[in-house]
Amino acid sequence: MRAIRFRRTLIATSSVLCASLALGACGDSGEKKADSAKSDKNAAGTVTVPTSKGDLEVPLKPVRVAALDNTSFATLKALGVKPVAVPKGLLPDADYQDWQNDSSIKDAGMHFEPKFEAINAAKPDLIIGGYRFADHHDKLSKIAKTIDLAPSDDSEGGYVNSLKTQTESLGKIFGAEDKAKQIVAALDKAQQDATGATKGEKVFLGVAAAGKVDNGASRIGRLTEPLNLKNVLSAEGEDSTSVHDDSGLAPETIAKLNPDWLIVLDRDAAVGTEDGAKAVSAKKLVDGMEAWDKTTFRKQDQVIYLANDFYLTEGIQAYTDAFGQVATAFKAAG
Residue 215 CA from chain centroid, whole number = 21
Same domain assignment for residues 158 and 277: no
Banded model confidence at residue 32, pLDDT cuts 50, 70, 90: very low
| pLDDT greater than 90 at residue 35 | no
Same domain assignment for residues 156 and 229: no
The CA distance from 252 to 176, in Å, is 50
Bridge partner list, 106: 85
Give tens-digit pLDDT for 15-27.
Answer: 433 333 333 444 4
In a domain? residue 37: no
With H, G, I as helix, E, B as strand and everything else as coil, classify residue 177.
helix
With H, G, I as helix, E, B as strand and everything else as coil, classify residue 56.
strand
| Max Cα–Cα distance, the chain, nearest Å | 90
pLDDT, position 261: 98
| pLDDT greater than 80 at residue 148 | yes
In a domain? residue 107: yes
Residue 13 phi/psi, 5-degree rounding, is -75, 145
Q: What are the distances in angstroms from CA 231 to CA 28, 205, 222, 259, 260?
A: 69, 7, 11, 8, 10
Instruction: Name the domain boundary from 140, 175, 210.
Output: 175
In a domain? residue 16: no
Residue 147 and residue 58 in contact, taking contact as beta carbons nearer than 8 Å: yes
pLDDT, position 23: 33
| Average pLDDT value for the chain | 86
Residue 68 CB contacts under 8 Å (≥ 6 apart), including other chains:
85, 86, 87, 108, 111, 114, 127, 128, 129, 130, 131, 132, 133, 140
In a domain? residue 22: no
pLDDT, position 247: 65
In a domain? residue 192: no
Of residues 230, 278, 217, the one with CA closest to residue 1: 278
Whole-prediction pTM: 0.84
Same domain assignment for residues 103 and 169: yes
Same domain assignment for residues 169 and 220: no
Same domain assignment for residues 234 and 298: yes
In a domain? residue 84: yes
Q: Percent of the chain having pLDDT more than 90?
A: 77
Number of domains in the chain: 2
Of residues 147, 177, 146, the one with CA closest to residue 164: 177
Same domain assignment for residues 328 and 217: yes
pLDDT, position 129: 97
Residue 208 and residue 268 in contact, taking contact as beta carbons nearer than 8 Å: yes
Instruction: Name the domain boundary from 175, 210, 228.
Output: 175
Considering only residues 13 and 247, tell me which one the structure prediction assigns the higher pLDDT. 247
Banded model confidence at residue 275, pLDDT cuts 50, 70, 90: low
| pLDDT greater than 80 at residue 38 | no
| DSSP label of 200 | S
Same domain assignment for residues 157 and 216: no
Same domain assignment for residues 145 and 205: no
Amino acid at 47: V
Same domain assignment for residues 230 and 309: yes
Average pLDDT over residues 292-312: 96
Average pLDDT over residues 192-217: 96
| pLDDT greater than 90 at residue 164 | yes
| pLDDT greater than 70 at residue 173 | yes
Average pLDDT over residues 36-58: 76
Report the chain's terminal Cα–Cα distance, integer Å: 36
Same domain assignment for residues 242 and 124: no
CB atoms within 10 A of CB 167: 28
Give tens-digit pLDDT for 230-271.
Answer: 999 987 554 444 444 456 799 999 999 999 999 999 998 887
| pLDDT greater than 90 at residue 58 | yes
Residue 25 CB contacts under 8 Å (≥ 6 apart), including other chains:
18
Residue 130 and residue 150 in contact, taking contact as beta carbons nearer than 8 Å: yes
Same domain assignment for residues 312 and 221: yes
CATH of the domain at 171: 3.40.50.1980
pLDDT, position 136: 97
In a domain? residue 224: yes
**Host domain of residue 230:** 198-333
Same domain assignment for residues 226 and 289: yes
pLDDT, position 246: 57
